[in-house]
Amino acid sequence: MMNQRAHPLAGASMTGAEMLVQVLADEGVDTIFGYSGGAILPIYDAVFLYNEKHQASMPLIVPANEQGAGFMAAGFARASGKVGVALVTSGPGATNMVTPVRDCMADSVPIVVICGQVPTGAIGTDAFQEAPVPSIMGAVAKHVFLVTDPAKLEATVRTAFEIARTGRPGPVVLDVPKDVQNWKGVFHGSGRLPVAGYRQRMNRVSANKLSDVACAEFFDHLTKSERPLIYAGGGVINGSAAFALREFVQEFHVPVVTTLMGIGAIDTKSPMSMRMLGMHGAAFANYAVEDCDFLLALGARFDDRVAGLPTRFAPKATFIAHLDIDASEIDKVKRVHWSHIGLLPDAILALVDYGKRIAFKRDWSAWHRHCEALRATHAMNYDRNSPLIQPYYVIEEINRLTNGEAIISTGVGQHQMWAAQYFDFRNPRQWLTSGSMGTMGFGLPAAVGAQFAQRNRLVIDIDGDSSIRMNLGEMETVTTYDLPVKVVVMNNCGDGMVKQWQKLFFKGRFSASDKSLHKKDFIKAALADGFPYAVRLDNKADVPRVIDEFIKFAGPAFLEVMIDPDAGVYPMVGPGQSYDEMITGEFINSRHQVVIKSPDASEMF
């Protein structure tokens, strides 16, 4: 066996900061998001020197706030599939990263966060801008490294990337004291930490292939099915398994519902797509789940937004199969009949291969007709005759122009659900949203990160007037780097989703959610931040014209839309309730007589 070629810089003398930056380059990092500060200055200087020598091949993008840097790294990772990188200083710089790190952990997004830290001798003395990063981040990250031995810095950085991208992806935090950054030593150009237990688990997962016996059991039950359905989650996207899912669907013609995080796993324009299920899923998607007799869960976790009442989720399914990379997800919420832990693309393709070998064929045309009838009878709809601008209409117009090809980022709230319901997505990694954490302020910085990841793609942030306020400072980041990001603010003068819940369950008492008296002028703010296009849309007749010019504008563009303040998100399944209790509103047909009831006192938001 030939020896691996030595790194061209192996044996060179470098500072710890220079080693760290070189490893970033070796790992393929081409964009860093971060904010400087005293404890991280050596690494910032090393980035400057690296870019001076390598034609600015690793630009450092500066946000308004470290939280923005974290969400930019997350948007970059979500849109590209690569590891995003954020570089921040100690103390408040690190603590401002807590929310993005937890967000990435909750949605299985690979980022590496590098935090400066006070010198090793000062750790624990409450030194200036010191924070106990391992203690804080250890609770929310996939892994945290505090580097106290400078000789291990190089190997630690490589290991951080390995852990972030392998298995179930997630955020890894590096806490690097300033003296470790300034230390001088020999660069080896190779080597990782001996994390034997982690690698053994990953090797077991990678080597765990679906056997013919397991495949035979799967197809034996699929043969008996009259109404099979695939339930695809975020693991299909994060595990790069969308191509395998599509091959399975093309071969066996099984309809698909996706979670919020699984959007894009199948082309929403496909006849096999039943779109999103769950709390705010399409009525026809939820009814398909009610009617199916065989459910195949792929990279999904039966979370509370999908299986609000697990005992009544997919009530007619006599066989539930579950494929996942994380053993802890199997039987965690709902018991299944057949499962496999392994790499999702490999497992799905193994089923496809076995089905082809046994010439598996089933006529599910009656089920397909049933699904088509569900789509027609219980289609998404709204008050199309209202004189007020309906948010659904705005999204339909944007969707008509973009044809399912745009990258859509969102904040969190009603606008997030409207975007999930009414946009088309032809491919994975076009839908960027904070799912499990539901972090307001995610949309704008994530769109910035996505635009750096996909520089030639149309990136649109669909936001709300409350959500965008959370990270409004990143408006200037868009224009500073002259990014052609399109920002849409659906302005209903308040916390729309909270107000909807208050209407339904708190007798309309808008406690702290009505912002109609706030003085913010978003157009003046956009102009002050340098947006060359900033328009307020408040006349329904102008919607097609204004949206057309907005989307076609060549540079950064900002559009505020004054929408119907009473527009709601429907369908809606209350927390802890089943799909037969789904509220469909006035304009979507329901097949059940539903009495709206308040959630149990123990139920979540």
* Tens-place pLDDT, residues 122-147: 999 999 999 999 999 999 999 999 99
Q: How far apart are the first and last CA of the chain?
A: 58
**Statement: the pTM of the whole predicted model exceeds 0.85:** yes
Task: Give the tokens for residue 1.
Answer: 């066996």
In the residue annotation, 145 being an active-site residue is answered as: no
Give the pLDDT band (50/70/90) at residue 1: very low
Which residue of the set 142, 178, 334, 499 is catalytic?
Answer: 178
Q: Stretch 52-80: mean pLDDT, rounded?
A: 98
| Beta-strand relationship, 431-432 and 459-464 | unpaired
Which residue of the set 18, 22, 33, 66 is catalytic?
Answer: 66
Spatial distance between the Cα atoms of 588 and 602, rounded to a whole number of angstroms: 29
Residue 327 clears pLDDT 90, i.e. is over it: yes
User: Given this model, what pLDDT does residue 277 score?
Assistant: 98
Q: Stretch 416-445: mean pLDDT, rounded?
A: 98
- Same fold? 208-377, 391-562: yes
Give the pLDDT band (50/70/90) at residue 534: very high
Q: Stretch 317-324: mean pLDDT, rounded?
A: 98
In three-state secondary structure terms, 275 is strand
Measured between alpha carbons, how far is residue 579 from residues 112, 230, 310, 328, 593 in Å?
39, 17, 11, 26, 12
DSSP 180-217: HHH-EEE--S------HHHHHHHHHHHH-PPPHHHHHH
In three-state secondary structure terms, 75 is helix
Percent of the chain with pLDDT over 70: 99
Domain coordinates of the chain in residue numbers?
13-205, 208-377, 391-562
Spatial distance between the Cα atoms of 111 and 233, rounded to a whole number of angstroms: 20
Q: Which amino acid is at 258?
A: T
The vertex-80 CA angle with 76 and 85, nearest 5°, equals 40
Give the pLDDT band (50/70/90) at residue 241: very high
Lowest mean pLDDT among 232-241, 285-294, 505-514: 505-514
User: Given this model, what pLDDT does residue 296 score?
Assistant: 98
Which residue of the set 128, 269, 316, 356 is catalytic?
Answer: 128
Cβ atoms of residues 551 and 401 within 8 Å: yes
Q: Which amino acid is at 220?
A: D
Spatial distance between the Cα atoms of 289 and 232, rounded to a whole number of angstroms: 12
Residue 76 clears pLDDT 60, i.e. is over it: yes
Residue at token pair 């990136």: 459
Q: Stretch 256-272: mean pLDDT, rounded?
A: 98
Helices 283-291 & 365-377 angle (0-180, nearest 10)? 150
Lowest mean pLDDT among 375-389, 390-404, 469-483, 587-601: 587-601
In the residue annotation, 178 being an active-site residue is answered as: yes
Cβ atoms of residues 248 and 219 within 8 Å: no
Q: Stretch 560-565: mean pLDDT, rounded?
A: 98
Spatial distance between the Cα atoms of 336 and 217, rounded to a whole number of angstroms: 14
Q: Stretch 5-12: mean pLDDT, rounded?
A: 95
Residue 444 clears pLDDT 50, i.e. is over it: yes
Q: Which amino acid is at 487?
A: V
Q: Stretch 332-338: mean pLDDT, rounded?
A: 97
Percent of the chain with pLDDT over 90: 95
Cβ atoms of residues 51 and 57 within 8 Å: yes
Q: Stretch 529-558: mean pLDDT, rounded?
A: 98
Where do the H-state alpha helices sit in 333-482?
A: 344-357, 365-377, 391-402, 414-422, 443-453, 465-469, 474-480
Average pLDDT for the chain: 96
User: Given this model, what pLDDT does residue 193 score?
Assistant: 97
Residue at token pair 């969308």: 242
Topology at the third CATH level for domain 13-205: Rossmann fold (3.40.50)
Contacts with 306 (C-beta within 8 Å, 6 or more apart), sequence order: 231, 259, 277, 278, 279, 281, 300, 313
Cβ atoms of residues 534 and 527 within 8 Å: yes
Residue 195 clears pLDDT 80, i.e. is over it: yes
User: Given this model, what pLDDT does residue 465 score?
Assistant: 97
CATH number given to 208-377: 3.40.50.1220
Residue 571 clears pLDDT 80, i.e. is over it: yes
Residue 19 clears pLDDT 60, i.e. is over it: yes
Residue 355 clears pLDDT 90, i.e. is over it: yes
Q: Stretch 582-602: mean pLDDT, rounded?
A: 85
Cβ atoms of residues 417 and 435 within 8 Å: no
Spatial distance between the Cα atoms of 76 and 457, rounded to a whole number of angstroms: 13
DSSP one-letter code for 390: P
Spatial distance between the Cα atoms of 284 and 275, rounded to a whole number of angstroms: 9
* Cis? peptide before 571, omega within 30° of 0: yes
Q: Which CATH number fits domain 391-562: 2.40.128.20, 3.40.50.970, 3.40.50.410, 2.120.10.30?
A: 3.40.50.970
In three-state secondary structure terms, 237 is helix
Lowest mean pLDDT among 250-254, 377-381, 510-514, 545-549: 510-514
In the residue annotation, 405 being an active-site residue is answered as: no
Which residue of the set 58, 129, 247, 506 is catalytic?
Answer: 129
In the residue annotation, 66 being an active-site residue is answered as: yes
The vertex-312 CA angle with 308 and 317, nearest 5°, equals 120
* Tens-place pLDDT, residues 196-214: 999 999 999 999 999 999 9
Residue 566 clears pLDDT 50, i.e. is over it: yes
| Beta-strand relationship, 184-186 and 13-15 | antiparallel
Residue 3 clears pLDDT 80, i.e. is over it: no
Spatial distance between the Cα atoms of 597 and 539, rounded to a whole number of angstroms: 36
Which residue of the set 97, 274, 497, 572 is catalytic?
Answer: 497
Residue 108 clears pLDDT 90, i.e. is over it: yes
